[in-house]
């Protein structure tokens, strides 16, 4: 069999999935790695090459072009099955679920069985935030139209993709979790946290990520190159005063200074805030970061607001539009308009998706 996995693909005692499968008698003959690589060492949007270990080939499903995101059919032919064991973080921007979806599509086309080892959604399965993407705004940070905080496990999301693509769910062999319920968050599981990517070091990072990743769509630093990515964010000379005046819920903002060691503003002192979650149940990361960005981005010169470089293989629209699912937020900020209409539409879209996603539930409570 083949195994699509990464650094967080471990059991409760931290044994790698490949070792667990081999000990169980499986002949793992091929390995596949998503973004960041099978070892989880590469930074974001860095192409990873295909290589071989002393025992088996390791095929990369994240290279330099969009065509590198799907496995080549010949890689799957001859396998009895491909096992997918990836730890997601519950936000549509996180690309592992889309690597799983593309792999599942190719496997279905060539007749290779797919086994999905389900894992907890660190944000739980009860709450949904952010509308699905609008027409023309699908990308590798949202390959299918789902809510930003989708509240699904990876196996549930693959069931949803099967329905969307008219793939028979019978092609999937799902290994469901025992004891997981929709209201559980990571600390309720008793499982160790292993960072699934280089800039997802802690559970706190995952808890802010549905909002924190939005900063990637700006020229502000999202804290990459620090020890608290997505919790820390800012820019050289940023006036954080407007942020401290916001009425936010479940969170406290602490003014900070930091110097990223790489990526945006590397080596330059930045003024910003650290986002401290004080009540995870009432904290709404997506809305919170939308409000924070709207409070400071208008004070920046137009050319210093939005990221315009190629973002996840897309070059014809701003990254912030791909992340928010459309141009509405960016347009409102640039025009100095109220966010009320944008947030109301986001809430309506999230509520609609909340109803639609239930057909994919594997865990009812």
- From its phi and psi, is residue 93 left (phi > 0), alpha (psi between -120 and 50) or beta? alpha
Residue 54: the pLDDT is 57
Burial 241-262 (b: 16+ CB within 10 A, else e): eebeeeebeebebeebebebee
Residue 357: the pLDDT is 96
Nearest CA to 99 among 111, 110, 114?
114
Residue 151: the pLDDT is 98
Phi, psi angle pair for 212, to nearest 5°: -60, -30
- Please state, in angstroms and rounded to a whole number, the distance separating the CA atoms of residues 193 and 196: 9
Tokens 């966010």 locate to 339
Chain-centroid distance of CA 228 in Å reads 17
Tokens 């949202």 locate to 142
**Residues β-bridged to residue 107:** none
Residue 52: the pLDDT is 63
Domains and CATH numbers, the chain: 2-194+353-360 (3.40.50.12170), 203-350 (3.90.1150.140)
Residue 5: the pLDDT is 97
Edge-to-edge strands of the sheet including 172-175? 51-52, 57-60, 30-33, 2-5, 81-85, 113-117, 172-175
Consecutive sets of 10 residues in the chain, 365 residues long: mean pLDDT of each? 97 96 96 90 70 79 92 94 98 97 95 97 97 96 98 98 91 94 93 96 97 98 97 97 97 98 96 97 97 97 93 94 98 96 98 97 91
Residue 47: the pLDDT is 65
Tokens 């010949």 locate to 74
Nearest CA to 358 among 108, 126, 187?
126
User: pTM for this structure?
Assistant: 0.95
Residue 123: the pLDDT is 96
């Amino acid at each position: 069999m083949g195994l699509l996995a990464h650094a967080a693909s471990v059991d409760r005692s931290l044994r790698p999935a490949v070792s667990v499968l081999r000990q169980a008698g499986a002949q793992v003959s091929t390995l596949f790695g998503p973004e960041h690589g099978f070892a989880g060492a590469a930074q974001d949007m860095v192409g990873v090459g295909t290589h071989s270990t002393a025992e088996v080939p390791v095929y990369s499903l994240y290279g330099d072009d969009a065509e590198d995101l799907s496995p080549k059919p010949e890689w799957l032919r001859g396998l009895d099955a491909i096992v997918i064991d990836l730890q997601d973080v519950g936000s549509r921007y996180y690309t592992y679920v889309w690597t799983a979806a593309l792999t599942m599509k190719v496997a279905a086309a060539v007749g290779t069985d797919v086994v999905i080892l389900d894992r907890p959604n660190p944000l739980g399965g009860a709450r949904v935030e952010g509308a699905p993407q609008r027409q023309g705004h699908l990308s590798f940070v949202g390959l299918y139209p789902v809510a930003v905080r989708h509240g699904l496990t990876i196996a549930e999301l693959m069931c949803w993709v099967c329905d969307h693509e008219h793939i028979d769910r019978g092609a999937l062999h799902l290994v469901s979790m025992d004891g997981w319920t929709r209201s559980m968050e990571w600390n309720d599981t008793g499982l160790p946290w292993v960072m699934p990517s280089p800039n997802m070091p802690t559970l706190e990072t995952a808890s802010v990520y549905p909002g924190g990743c939005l900063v990637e769509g700006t020229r502000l630093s999202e804290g990459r190159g620090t020890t608290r990515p997505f919790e820390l964010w800012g820019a050289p000379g940023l006036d954080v005063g407007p942020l401290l005046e916001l009425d936010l819920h479940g969170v406290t903002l602490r003014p900070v200074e930091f110097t990223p060691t790489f990526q945006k503003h590397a080596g330059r002192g930045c003024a910003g805030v650290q986002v401290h979650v004080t009540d995870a149940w009432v904290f709404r990361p997506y809305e919170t970061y939308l409000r924070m960005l709207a409070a400071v981005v208008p004070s920046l010169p137009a050319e210093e607001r939005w990221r315009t470089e190629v973002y996840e293989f897309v070059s014809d629209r701003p990254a912030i539009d791909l992340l928010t699912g459309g141009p509405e937020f960016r347009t409102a900020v640039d025009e100095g308009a109220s966010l009320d209409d944008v947030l109301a539409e986001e809430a309506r879209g999230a509520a609609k998706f909340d109803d639609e996603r239930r057909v994919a539930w594997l865990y009812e409570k």
